């Protein structure tokens, strides 16, 4: 039997039925794209669909920022971190030339460039601890929740609560000492900024190689996949590198259509504020919601908010991917200590992301892709928080090994 007949062309009978969750996710993605496009314009519909693509890529590649950092800290395995460096390298190569010119395909674009100061350090450190206790980062929370992980719904709920709490004190944190918004391409030019960035990424990758060889004896290899060809990309699991390529491409499309890179957690603060209004709390008295952009977002439907619709798309895309993989099977059997970790982790994730100008996506991925110094500062402080979080995990999860496959 030929290779093409066994791996490249999947047989219809070998594909799992979508079931109600998968069919619902597919309908939501198609109908949502059309409805949002009709109500708010084609760009809005396209961004919702891009969110769906991000959810599929995150789920099928199991592209976890949290787990990659944890296995390096606890076990010295650095394959996930090296792929993250590849992700960032490809992103700066794509982003810097257009951000420096200010236009992409004739449209104005701007990067995620924020002040780098004490608020970023404190917030990213909190976020790092929250990553390990909550069981995921911002993108990880969305795609694992969409994929049927019931525990991550708890993390997501308290992520939203923490984000809202962060808006209460946001002006105080902003007032702490900081360096004004600065990007590498502003200081060194686009190609100089790319060269500096690539040198940093190469150095980090080299450190992971040295550490892994010292602690493990050899470098970890990509595990063999039970599926091949088109079937592998339809049902998963994807190679990590394929996931990185998809995330970079979809983030670049987000930049082209939205005029700024991919972000996640500002929507959580908005959802929290909308929920607060429903129970009689007025968030407009807080300085965060008095800025023109945030006041406008709060006064409109969440479906008018670009970040929100992309987050909704991620959840729907991950649900569809889980159904295609035959792995959508939610369970409410969650140990009490695990629930407690999700609550504490979610609060730290939400509060930390808000005061640090973003999460692992908005500050780390898109921030560094934008050349922002705050993105690098965020990464250092968040990694330190992860070290603490890894040490706290055994009390909550009773684990000897520090790897949980469900983490994002």
Q: What is the pLDDT of residues 87-145, one digit of tens each?
A: 999 999 999 999 999 999 889 999 999 999 999 999 999 999 999 999 888 888 888 88
Q: What is the pLDDT of residues 379-389, one digit of tens each?
A: 999 999 999 99
User: In 10 A of CB 165, how many CB atoms?
Assistant: 18
Higher pLDDT, 239 or 333: 239
Spatial CB neighbours of 232, under 8 Å, sequence gap ≥ 6? 225, 238
Distance from C-alpha of 191 to C-alpha of 193, rounded to nearest angstrom: 5
Mean pLDDT of the chain: 91
Give percent helix, percent strand, percent coil of the chain, each to the nearest 5: 75, 0, 25
**Structure-derived torsion over alpha carbons of residues 28, 34, 39, 40, reported in degrees to the nearest 10:** 100
Domain locations in the chain? 18-397
Structure tokens at 311: 């987050």
Higher pLDDT, 289 or 143: 289
* C-alpha 226, offset from chain centre: 26
- Would you say residue 4 has pLDDT above 70? no
Distance from C-alpha of 64 to C-alpha of 408, rounded to nearest angstrom: 4
Q: What is the pLDDT of residues 31-81, one digit of tens each?
A: 999 999 999 999 999 999 999 999 999 999 988 899 999 999 999 999 999
Render 335-354 in DSSP notation, one character per residue. Answer: -HHHHHHHHHHHHHHHHHHH
- Residue 331 is predicted with a pLDDT of 75
* Alpha helices (H) in 102-148, listed in sequence order: 118-134, 138-146
Q: What is the pLDDT of residues 229-286, one digit of tens each?
A: 888 888 879 999 999 999 999 999 999 999 999 999 999 999 999 999 999 999 999 9
pLDDT band at 17 (very low <50, low <70, confident <90, very high): low
What integer is the mean pLDDT of 371-393? 96
Which helix (H) or strand (E) element contains residue 388?
Answer: helix 373-397
- Yes or no: say if 390 and 74 are a contact pair by the CB < 8 Å rule: yes
- Would you say residue 8 has pLDDT above 50? no
Spatial CB neighbours of 116, under 8 Å, sequence gap ≥ 6? 178, 179, 181, 182, 372, 373, 374, 376, 377
* C-alpha 110, offset from chain centre: 19
- Which segment of 1-10, 60-69, 216-225 scores lowest on mean pLDDT? 1-10
- Residue 284 is predicted with a pLDDT of 95
pTM for this prediction: 0.91
- Would you say residue 182 has pLDDT above 60? yes
């Amino acid at each position: 039997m030929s290779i093409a007949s066994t791996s490249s062309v999947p047989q219809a009978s070998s594909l799992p039925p979508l079931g109600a969750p998968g069919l619902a996710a597919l309908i939501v993605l198609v109908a949502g794209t059309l409805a949002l496009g009709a109500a708010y314009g084609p760009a809005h519909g396209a961004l919702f669909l891009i969110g769906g693509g991000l959810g599929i890529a995150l789920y099928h590649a199991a592209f976890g920022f949290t787990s990659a950092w944890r296995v390096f800290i606890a076990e010295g395995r650095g394959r996930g971190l090296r792929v993250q460096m590849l992700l960032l390298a490809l992103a700066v190569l794509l982003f810097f030339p257009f951000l420096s010119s200010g236009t992409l395909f004739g449209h104005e674009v701007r990067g995620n460039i924020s002040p780098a100061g004490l608020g970023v350090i404190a917030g990213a450190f909190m976020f790092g601890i929250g990553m390990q206790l909550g069981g995921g980062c911002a993108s990880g929370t969305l795609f694992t929740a969409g994929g049927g992980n019931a525990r991550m719904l708890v993390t997501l709920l308290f992520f939203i609560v923490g984000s809202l709490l962060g808006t209460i004190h946001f002006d105080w944190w902003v007032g702490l000492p900081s360096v004004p918004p600065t990007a590498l391409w502003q200081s060194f030019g686009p190609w100089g900024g790319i060269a500096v960035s690539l040198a940093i990424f190469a150095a980090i990758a080299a450190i992971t190689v040295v550490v892994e060889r010292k602690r493990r004896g050899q470098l970890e290899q990509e595990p063999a996949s039970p599926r091949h060809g088109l079937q592998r990309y339809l049902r998963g699991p994807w190679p990590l590198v394929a996931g990185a390529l998809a995330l970079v491409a979809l983030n670049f499309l987000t930049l082209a259509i939205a005029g700024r890179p991919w972000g996640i957690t500002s929507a959580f603060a908005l959802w929290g504020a909308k929920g607060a209004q429903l129970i009689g709390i007025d968030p407009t008295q807080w300085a965060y919601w008095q800025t023109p952009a945030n006041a406008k977002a709060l006064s409109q439907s969440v479906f008018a908010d670009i970040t929100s619709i992309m987050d909704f798309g991620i959840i729907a895309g991950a649900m569809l991917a889980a159904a295609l993989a035959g792995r959508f099977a939610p369970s409410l059997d969650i140990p009490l200590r695990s629930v407690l970790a999700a609550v504490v982790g979610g609060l730290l994730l939400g509060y930390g992301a808000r005061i640090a100008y973003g999460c692992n996506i908005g500050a780390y991925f898109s921030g560094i892709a934008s050349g922002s110094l705050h993105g690098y500062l965020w990464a250092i402080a968040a990694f330190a928080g992860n070290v603490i979080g890894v040490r706290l995990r055994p009390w909550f999860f009773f684990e000897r090994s520090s790897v949980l496959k469900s983490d994002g």
